[in-house]
A and B are shown apart, each in its own frame.
Chain A
Amino acid sequence: MAVGNCINNRLYKVVSKLFSIHKIRTEAAFKRFLVVIALAMMVIAIAIFITLVIHSIPSFKTLGAGFFWGRTWDPVSDVYGALPFLLGTLLTSFIALIISVPFSYAIAIYLGEYKTKGWLSGLLKNIVELVAAVPSVIYGFWALVVLVPIVRSIETKVGAPPYGVGILSASLILAIMIIPYAASLGRELIRLVPSALKEGAYSLGATRLEVLRHVILPKTRSGLFAGLLLSLGRALGETMAVTMVIGNTSALPNSIFSPANTMASVIANEFTEADRTVYLSALIELGLVLFVVTVVINIIGKLIIKQFSNE
């Protein structure tokens, strides 16, 4: 009996030890697994960059820095100049940004300061989120059928060649698409302004507009700028809606009415047709430029926001 008990006890000890070792091992393995996954994110991000660089090398070698200043893009005769696309991207993005600013800041101020509660502001907030949710290909299709004829009639009135498609159409549809980004960030930052500051100004007899101009805007200036950067990053990388209404011409644009191409749209149109190494590589170099520019803009924007919310 005593012997049996002893064996039972020892068995129990061995088994429980094995189990707890097993437990600790799975625990350690699980922790290591989490580390591996976090590392994998870094690997993906770095691999994206390296892939783009490697496949851009033929273009670096044959075209050099002249790639960015070349005014002609003519794959048939092996001439690759990216200036028309750089200009197309910059023009559409900045025009879109300028058009969108009054609207996005108005939404930010309205939801962040004037009407922070109530069904009307709830409705507006949801509408802004839906604007961000509509797929870009649907924006493009709508712009092609509805917006382009309107732009064409404007062009006829001002005496420009009535293409309809072109930089102006692309900028208009982009402007609608990027409003939500600056608007929702601006709203949150305006809300963060301490009410003690605002009350101080009110008690000195300031009106609402004066509080807005002299207290809220100075306090949130850097954050609102960060919102602009996020909108800009979105505009630079947007592909489908722009591709559908910009007219896809590789000539240097000479007015805001002329058809053009952006970096993203030329990649979308020509990537699967590119049959020579240099041609393909030139397109990938455009992708590399786009990647670096949008990532830098996004990260600067996020750093500003971080600094702002730490204050």
Chain B
Amino acid sequence: MNSTNRRLNFRLTTSKVFEYVIALFAFIITIPLFAIIFYVLKTGLSKLSWHFITNIPKPVGELGGGIANALLGSLLIVLVAAIIAVPIGILCGVYLSENKNSKLAYWSRLAVDVMQGTPSIVIGIVIYFWIVKPSGSFSALSGSIALAIMMLPIVIRSTEETLKLLPETLKEAGYALGLPYHKVIFRVIIPNGVSGILSGVMLAIARVAGETAPLLFTAFGNPYVNANILRPMQSLPLLIFNYATSPYDEWHDLAWGASLILLIWVLLLNITTKLITRRWKVQS
């Protein structure tokens, strides 16, 4: 009797101990995240000022200077990427959710998986040969196209997943009123799935806003302010990469300030997306 009890106690204790070990290991991930956020805040916060976001970097040895060129560049490159990727992505998502079992949908889905699995640096190489080389110069537009290819899978997937959840009766009601197919899509289906689609779009933007690798051989970088998308353009991640790997302390400071701005941008997008999906959840 006593030995059975002891055996039972042993089993219960190991179970409990294991639960604590799992909890411990699970929460260790918070340490690097907070360490990074804390470090970026500590080093970047002192740099932030109006001067910092309205001036371009100064040459080595001079104090001050800002990241206006990179900030403007990042906004423009990501905006153009979104203009390219969002309509195509949503329409492709519509096709996939409307034609779930067609052969084309199967292969198209596979193609989207291939795009999603492609390393970002490889997309940079490919766009170099598609756009940069034929046009003869690095350009922000080629960078935007590279980022658009990275955004597509995210937008397509989230659109498809959202629209799948909408009840068939919604569409039937539209048809019963005599609406043509495209109006059913644009007036009934897409507005009803807008929160899911929007959150996919914002996640995609957050994802590509921090991408550096596809821009190395496309947007290339530019030490001056430039708003022409057919010319090389600086972006926040490119600036961080170039200045962080340089040996100069002034440039490291600039890179930390830029890191803080980029981090705030990306985290805010992620948090807003969460709030949107929580507020307007699609009812299945």
Write the residues of chain A forming the contact surface with B, with a CB cutoff of 8 angstroms: 23-24, 26-27, 30-31, 33-35, 37-42, 44-48, 51-52, 55, 102-103, 106-107, 109-111, 114, 124, 126-131, 133-142, 144-146, 176, 179, 183, 207-210, 212, 233, 236-240, 244, 264, 267-268, 271-272, 283-284, 287, 290-291, 294-295, 297-299, 302
Pair A41/B119 contact, Cβ less than 8 Å: no
Chain A residues within 8 Å of B95, by CB: 34-35, 37-38
Given the known interface contacts A41-B108, A55-B129, the answer about A48 and B118 at a Cβ–Cβ threshold of 8 Å is: yes
Starting from the known contacts A34-B98, A136-B210, 18 additional A-B residue pairs (CB-CB under 8 Å) come to A34-B94, A38-B95, A38-B105, A41-B108, A42-B108, A45-B111, A48-B115, A52-B126, A106-B23, A106-B26, A134-B266, A135-B210, A136-B212, A138-B36, A208-B19, A209-B15, A267-B121, A287-B122
Q: How far is the CA of A138 from the CA of B19 in the complex (A)?
A: 33
Chain A residues within 8 Å of B270, by CB: 129-130, 133
Pair A297/B117 contact, Cβ less than 8 Å: yes
Chain A residues within 8 Å of B217, by CB: 271-272
Could you count the A-B residue pairs with CB atoms below 8 Å apart for me: how many are there?
245
Q: Count the B residues whose beta carbon is within 8 Å of the partner chain — how many?
A: 85
Give the residues from 212 to 257 in chain B that come closer than 8 angstroms, CB to CB, to chain A: 212-213, 216-217, 237, 240-241, 244-245, 252, 255-256
Write the residues of chain B forming the contact surface with A, with a CB cutoff of 8 angstroms: 11-12, 14-15, 18-19, 21-30, 32-33, 35-36, 39-40, 88, 91-92, 94-96, 98-99, 104-105, 107-108, 110-126, 128-130, 149, 152, 156, 180-182, 185, 206-207, 209-213, 216-217, 237, 240-241, 244-245, 252, 255-256, 259, 262-263, 266-267, 270, 274
Pair B29/A210 contact, Cβ less than 8 Å: no
Q: How far is the CA of A60 from the CA of B110 in the complex (A)?
A: 28
Q: Chain A contact residues: over half helix, strand or loop, or mixed?
A: helix
Chain A residues within 8 Å of B24, by CB: 106
Pair B30/A127 contact, Cβ less than 8 Å: yes
Pair B14/A209 contact, Cβ less than 8 Å: yes
Chain B residues within 8 Å of A52, by CB: 122, 125-126
Q: How far is the CA of A44 from the CA of B128 in the complex (A)?
A: 14
Chain A residues within 8 Å of B119, by CB: 236-239, 264, 290-291, 294
Pair B117/A298 contact, Cβ less than 8 Å: yes
Pair A128/B36 contact, Cβ less than 8 Å: no
In the complex, 6 of the A-B residue pairs with CB atoms within 8 angstroms, ordered by the A residue number, are A38-B92, A124-B30, A128-B29, A129-B270, A131-B29, A133-B267
Chain B residues within 8 Å of A127, by CB: 29-30, 33
